[in-house]
Structure 1
Amino acid sequence: MVDLEKAPDAGPREEPVRRSDAEGCLAVAVRIPVRIVVLVLVVPVRIVWDVLVVVGRFLRDTVLRPVGRALAWLGRAVFVWPLVGLWRYVVVPLAKGVGWLGQVLLVVPAVWLYRWVLTPVGHGLAWFFTRVGVVLAAIGRGLYAGLAWLGRYLLVVPAAWLYRWLLTPVGHALAWCGRGLVWCGRQVARGVGLVVTGLGFVLYWTVRVLLVLPALAVWRWVLTPVGRALSVVGREVADALGHAWRIAGHLSRAVGRFLGTVLRWTVAEPARWVYRSVLTPVGHAVRDAVLRPLAEAGRVAGRAARQALVSARLSVRQARADVRRMLFGGPAGWRPVDGREPSAAEARTLGSSTTALTKD
């Protein structure tokens, strides 16, 4: 059997974009020196940029953010909360009171006036003007018929006669004259057009020979090669800046990590070792040998001072009572009240009718 199916067409192949030999040589000649110079210039800039970024983040986290939060809280405390309180406890109640007064003093009287005064008066006026309107409509129809008859025989009929027998012949004559003038104007315009066309043809070739062709030659043989060279140089400079910025980033990161490691092993780790191995035991010893005994002695002295103050206060109070007794005498005598419960013999029993209060 014959295979009638055709193999799928692979389609047109896209050819790679080829550069001219001059552009390739220029790119190769410019690329390496430009990248070296740009790398030397960009590395310090990138290091300074990374340092500024770190300093900015530190300032943002330690200074600007707390200051911003404090200013936000101060703004709320100074402006927002007083305004909210003023709105909630002054403006809203005042507005509700004004609304209630407006409803009582304006809305209710206006509704009453509309319902019981204006509505009946309006119905009466509507009935009156309806009757008057019927009469006026009849009079108006009569006047309209009379005015229409007068207008027809005083204006329309004379105007139609004037249009038919006077204006129409005059218009035909003017139209014939106008057609003649238009034909003359067309002939004159045709002659002027020929003159202008000739002048334009001459000016076109003059400008083309003197301006366009030299400008086209300059564009094609001078500006285009120079522009291509400058575009190659600019592209290589941009690529070099990108590569240099990335390489400077890696170098800056490596330098930062090296400096961080140096600071860690020269400052942070010795400080941590001194804190753990020296300052912490010394602090514990000072706390156990000096601070705790001093605190205990302070607590004992405080208790002794409080007890002395209590004793002094009691002594002063007793002395004041003695002086008052010497000057004004002691208080009046008092008789103790027997608050004890009655005995079993004096208490009320079930077989007797007397109680401890009525017994002789």
Structure 2
Amino acid sequence: MNANGDREDPSQSTAMTGGDSSRPSGGSLQRPVPAWQVYAEQGPAPQPERPESGDGCLYSVVRWPARIIAVVVVVPLRLLWELVKAIGRGVRLLLWDWFLRPVLIGLKIALWDWFLRPIGKGLKILVWDWFLYPVGLFVWRWVLLPIGRAIAWAWVRLVMVPIVFLVRYVLLVPLSALWRWVLAPVGRAVVQALRFAWDVSTTVFTFLVVRPLSWLWRAVLVPIGRGIAFVWRHVVVVPAVWAWNHVFAPIGRAIRAVWRFAVVAPMRWVGRNVFRPIGTAGREVLRAFGLKKR
């Protein structure tokens, strides 16, 4: 209630309080009002007016000639184009849909279905079924087939039979007889002769060469080789090994030890304690007199 005793509008009170309906009013709690109800009661907020883009002297100068050109040139051309499209649709509807298409369909039905197809079927029955097929069958069965059989019989009897006879009795039979009575016996005799010669030669070679050489190897060469090996081992190898192990090796070790202690060690000591200090002192003297660069 306001000061005049009137009831306040809840939307106005909500707007005045910034939309916060959760605050208590007059010590009592109020139910919160949804935002969509407030928007529906108040309506959208008024948008500020925006100045029209392009306002100015230059825009006014260019806008009116452009509108005049559009009204004078573009609009008549667009109307003329729409008129031409409408006329084209009407002409297509009249000439094609209502006249040419039904006429063509009628001609197709009249010429093809009622005239050409029955004539073709009739010609097929008359020409093929009643004339060409029976004539061709008769010609094939009673003319061409007997002629082909006669040609095949003549080819077989007059050409193939003489050729087979000549090949069999002029070529194959003589060659078979030559192989059976001449070539095969000669070949077998040659094989037997070669086999006999091989057996004789192997026997002679065995008794005259292989066995004497085998006896010479077993009875003479092997014992001689074993004797030579025994003599070489006990006369040369064993004394040489004993001399190497008990004479030459100790002498070599003694010579190496004497050389190491009598020659190498003194020379190393002399080089390290005599020649190296002398060389170092000589270099320092030459470097002091400027005769040697660093």
TM-score, length of structure 1 as denominator length: 0.34
Higher relative contact order (CA 8 A, sep 6+): 1
